A and B are shown apart, each in its own frame.
Chain A
Amino acid sequence: SQQGEEDPQALSIQEGENATMNCSYKTSINNLQWYRQNSGRGLVHLILIRSNEREKHSGRLRVTLDTSKKSSSLLITASRAADTASYFCATEGYQKVTFGTGTKLQVIP
């Protein structure tokens, strides 16, 4: 079964707005990562947050992690049409990384 579940499954916003995606997971983790996938292509790593961190920033990305609630959120600020993609959370436990089902983001110009 999937470790991570993203919410919402799909999100459509106007360019310039912020986009927030959430990820919930089931078991203890070492870290949580977010990946981006453009249509039909390989995933690209965006950001990693460790289990002892609560918030992390990278450019227009802000990730939070709440281990007590087993949840994480990815915020993309000032979205651009080029941000249109699917976004996946991935949790790392023992030896391997498990991916969630993804949020499909559409940014309308």
Chain B
Amino acid sequence: DADVTQTPRNRITKTGKRIMLECSQTKGHDRMYWYRQDPGLGLRLIYYSFDVKDINKGEISDGYSVSRQAQAKFSLSLESAIPNQTALYFCATNPGLAGSNEQFFGPGTRLTVL
């Protein structure tokens, strides 16, 4: 869905490097999420934000930080990347309206930490 974009799509980096993954959306949704996907583990929630001033830790926030620069932008940072952060990262949005629970996903960023 082109309404939620992620950059970069692929990234290879070295242990200890700082990495930022960016997510932008044109859907006008208030809620944004960052997930990571590992084989056999499904998607795990890293951080989520319900509006620009709201940031919440998810299931696996250690080693990550986020910034909600605007309603449309939600960035995920790895301050000092480590190999076990190698994964597929997804951003998702949700309008946050009653009865509207569908999440809209970006195409993903494949991150490899050597």
Q: Known contacts A40-B108, A41-B107, A48-B102; is A88 also within 8 Å of B42 by CB?
A: yes
Q: How many A-B Cβ pairs are below 8 Å? A: 61
A8 to chain B, nearest CB (A): 13
Choose among B40, B41, B45, B105 the residue that contacts A43 (Cβ–Cβ < 8 A).
Answer: B105
Q: List 20 A-B contacts (CB under 8 A).
A: A2-B41, A2-B44, A41-B107, A42-B92, A42-B107, A42-B108, A43-B90, A45-B103, A45-B104, A48-B101, A88-B43, A96-B33, A96-B45, A97-B94, A98-B59, A99-B35, A99-B42, A99-B43, A99-B44, A101-B42
Task: Tell me if A42 and B42 are in contact (CB < 8 A).
Answer: no
Most chain B beta carbons < 10 A, residue from A30, A42, A95, A98: A42
In the assembled complex, which residues on chain B have CB atoms less than 8 Å from the CB atom of A30? 101
- C-alpha spacing A92/B45, complex, angstroms: 13
In the assembled complex, which residues on chain A have CB atoms less than 8 Å from the CB atom of B50? 95
B interface vs A, CB < 8 Å? 1, 4, 33, 35, 40-45, 48, 50, 56, 58-59, 88, 90, 92, 94, 101-108, 110
The chain A residue sitting closest to B45, CB to CB, is A96
In the assembled complex, which residues on chain B have CB atoms less than 8 Å from the CB atom of A71? none
A75 to chain B, nearest CB (A): 20
Task: Tell me if B45 and A98 are in contact (CB < 8 A).
Answer: yes
> Range of interface residues on chain A?
20 to 34
Q: Mark A74-100, 1 if CB is under 8 A from B, else 0.
A: 000000000000001010100111111
The reply to whether the CB of A73 lies closer than 8 angstroms to some CB of chain B is no
The reply to whether the CB of A31 lies closer than 8 angstroms to some CB of chain B is yes
